[in-house]
Amino acid sequence: MTPLAAGPNTGVHGVELGVVIFFFLVVTFGGFVAVRWRRGESMKSLDEWGLGGRGFGSVITWFLLGGDLYTAYTFVAVPAAMFATGAVSGFFAVPYTIVVYPLIFIFMPRLWSVSHRNGYVTPADFVRGRYGSRTLALAVAITGIVATMPYIALQLVGIQAVLDTMGLGGSGNWFLRDLPLIIAFAVLAAYTYSSGLRAPALIAFVKDTLIYVVIVVAIVWVAINIGFGDMFDAAQAQMKSTPNGSFIPSSQTFWAYGTLAFGSALALFMYPHSVTGVLSAKNRNVIRRNAAVLPTYSLMLGMLALLGFAAIYEKTSVVGLDGKPNGQLVVPHFFDQIFPSWFAGVAFAAIAIGALVPAAIMSIAAANLFTRNVYRELFVPDASPAHEAAVSKIVSLVVKFGALVFVLGMDRQNAINFQLLGGVWILQTILSIVAGLYTRWLHRWALLIGWAAAMAYGTWAAYQQSSPTTSHFGSSLAKFPGTDTKIYIAVTALLVNVIVSVVLTALFRIGRVPAGADETAPGDYYSDAASPSVSSAAAEVQTGAESAAT
């Protein structure tokens, strides 16, 4: 395999490591110079630091959203799931990332417009303005922060898988073992601090290019050396002998497959980092055009998923440096197995950089939520834009440090459990956000109670699920109450959410409970920046908000 390695898993793989370090230096340079790229008036506001000046066009948005949504953890986890249990837990990612785009085409331009007109930076800002409820906005903000934190931690798990494959991380000394990860994250934190959203936007170009090259080469390799028919046959045979394995969903798992795809699709754009990516777009057309071209990433994700099956054919070992099997290692090991070491290095660099881009955007999004909807709301109501940016920059450091401690200090399984819960939780904010884009009928207190009920149910249901490796949080599927059909827990919880919210809204309306003030105007929801009268009106709103704040 590599000249320096005595066996597949011993010693440091020098060539691979050298290539990874080279690409890491390139993106580090890019991350720091990004502060000068498309520079606005000053970095001292969240519009500039946290949303890149709200001026990204179609191409940058395409790379940014692609880099943001298709994370290193996805690259590692989806083929790992295909390798272990097949289609239901792995391939659902393909329909999931297809149906998400027609959905965002429908409601994201509305969120963009209302945010643009009213100077909203986070989804919770919108909820605050629409329902006049600080408590509901706080619930949405905290759900966003709590769901994002383990997602950042999982990006580190992706980097760890690559480091482990290159022979780093086996030594007994914890400090030396974790040093590469700590350095990578410290550098990431530094350029995110100085360049804000411009850093991941610039680095995303490198990340996506590398990923595309690697996946295409890998799939061509599979086509030539294995053949797709043989690959699928090997996977089919393997899945037959695997408990809970599925080559193609059966009548017991149709609902599981469908609800995982649609539930995850609805949840994806409730994550604060997705909203940040969307709000940084220049106008509504950028969002719509991107909804049409972003599925190209799903094509890549689908091919990547198939590498899990190719690894079954190749009988790839998933035993890590610590001697224990770890499914997450399947894709890095597969690359190590089939590619010459320099190209395996390119593949590993793609995964590692693929972790840095989303980690940066997620920490910016979580920091914006904290600053706007917790700090400003509860502690310093008259914070100036410069003050907000300063707080956000520091919080972005804290968030990343927290994720690092999470991964180094706790079992990896914890990060995966919390990420599973995060998906269930974040979907429960959809009612306040998306229904709010269309109607004010739902009552703010009903939404809050519905949210709380759904969060409690979802957490409890996920806690009950056991798997061969873990006694709780073992699956994101649970039996739909009163039936034997397993479906995605987040969808059942959303149903609880909708029922509670609708029933209570009806009661509150009969009881004439005050519904709160709505600061948005109907025209806010379909305004286009392209129309000159709108941009001047938006500028007016913006200045109005700023002068009110200072």
What are the residues binding another protein (CB under 8 A)? 87, 91, 94-95, 98-99, 101-103, 105-106, 109-110, 227-232, 247-251, 254-255, 257-258, 261-262, 285, 288-289, 291-293, 295-296, 298-299, 302, 306, 438, 521-523, 525-528, 531-534, 537
Is the Cβ of residue 455 or residue 487 nearer to another protein in the bound state?
A: 487
Beta strands in 151-295 (DSSP E): none
Does residue 436 contact residue 130 with C-beta atoms inside 8 Å?
A: yes
Torsion of CA 479, 481, 482, 486, to 10 degrees: -20
For residues 1 and 226, which CB has a smaller minimum distance to another protein in the complex?
A: 226
Please say which residue, 161 or 287, places its beta carbon nearer to another protein.
287
CA distance 474 to 417: 8
How far apart (Å, rounded) are the C-alpha atoms in residues 454 and 140? 13
Question: Measured on CA atoms in the order 128, 132, 133, 134, is the torsion positive or negative?
Answer: positive
Q: Which DSSP state fits 57?
A: -
Question: How far apart are the C-alpha atoms of 86 and 351, rounded to whole Å?
Answer: 22
Torsion angle, alpha carbons of 409, 412, 414, 416, to 10: 140
How far apart are CB 208 and another protein at their closest, in Å? 16
In the chain, the amino acid numbered 295 is P
Closer to another protein by Cβ: residue 342 or 441: 441
How far, in Å, are 158, 246, 495 from residue 309 at the CA level? 19, 12, 35
| Least separation in angstroms between CB 146 and another protein | 29
Least distance between another protein and beta carbon 320 (Å): 30
Q: What is the number of helices (H) and of strands (E) in the chain?
A: 25, 2
Minimum distance, C-beta of residue 179 to another protein, in the bound complex (Å)? 40
Nearer to another protein, 25 or 292 (CB): 292
Nearer to another protein, 77 or 99 (CB): 99
Q: Are 230 and 69 in contact (CB under 8 A)?
A: no
Q: Which is nearer to another protein, 173 or 533 (CB)?
A: 533
Please, which residue, 93 or 156, has the CB nearer to another protein? 93
Which single residue is written with the structure tokens 């999931």?
96
* 351/534 with CB nearer another protein: 534
Place of tokens 């790992």: 80
Tell me how far, at minimum, the Cβ of 306 lies from another protein, in Å.
8
Q: At its nearest, how many Å lie between another protein and the CB of residue 392?
A: 31
* Residue-by-residue DSSP string for 284-319: HHHHHHHHHHTHHHHHHHHHHHHHHHHHHHTT---B
Q: How far is the CB of 484 from another protein (least distance, A)?
A: 17
Closest distance of CB 479 from another protein, Å: 18
- Least separation, in Å, of the C-beta of 277 and another protein? 17
Interacting residues of 226 by C-beta distance below 8 A, sequence separation 6+ = 310, 313, 314
Closer residue to another protein, CB minimum distance, 85 or 527: 527
486: part of which helix (H) or strand (E)? strand 486-488
CB 129, min distance to another protein, A: 15
C-alpha–C-alpha distance, residues 429 and 139, integer Å: 8
